[in-house]
Amino acid sequence: MEIEPGTRSETTMNTTSSLPVVLASTSPFRKELLQRLGITFTTAAPDVDESPLADETPEALVRRLAKAKARAIGQSCQGLIIGSDQVATTGSDILGKPGTHVHATEQLRALSGRLVTFHTGLCLLNSMTGEAQVDVIPFKVQFRQLDEGQIERYLQADQPYNCAGSFKSEGQGITLFERMDGDDPSALIGLPLIRLTTMLARAGLVLP
């Protein structure tokens, strides 16, 4: 985990538990995940260009965007700002959101029997001090061999057209997997709660 020191104080450890928490995302999936921690928080939509830079690796991309989202909200909100970004890759290809049934069908055909790695960037910014804790959490999924009937039935059930990889692991998408490999299953959905809990504790908000 990378810690970027703030410019307005030496440290935030165990001193900021009363600061408000803001999730720099309006994603319903991330909001639902954060609610599991039992903390009070608000949400805000960051205005950030998510286009990758030339020759930028997936890990560098999600790290940069997680920080950018947190800092964008931190300009107008005081507190502990949570930024997160995720990309899925298979081989050297970055998987986007399919958008349509046709594209989702094509994507799942291509993923059949393959290993997919999800890279989730996470940033916890104390906007009062400028200190940022940043990390990238990987999670791997091995897809089953899928036939046309399985793909069609799944897409009709979950309609995951706004999800990278064309599946919702919190829904029936779990049936598409042969195995999963990673330290934090919540990272697969887009907000690594185990790592976030560690970051919050360092910032003074100890859970539960």
What residues act catalytically? 85
Name the pairing type of β-strands 132-143 and 177-181.
Answer: antiparallel
DSSP designation for 51: P
Q: Is 158:168 a contact under the CB 8 Å cutoff?
A: yes
Distance of CA 96 to the CA centre of its chain: 14
Distance of CA 83 to the CA centre of its chain: 8
Beta strands per DSSP E along the chain: 2-4, 21-23, 41-43, 80-90, 93-95, 115-126, 132-143, 177-181
Which CA distances in Å does 134 have to 55, 67, 191? Answer: 21, 7, 13
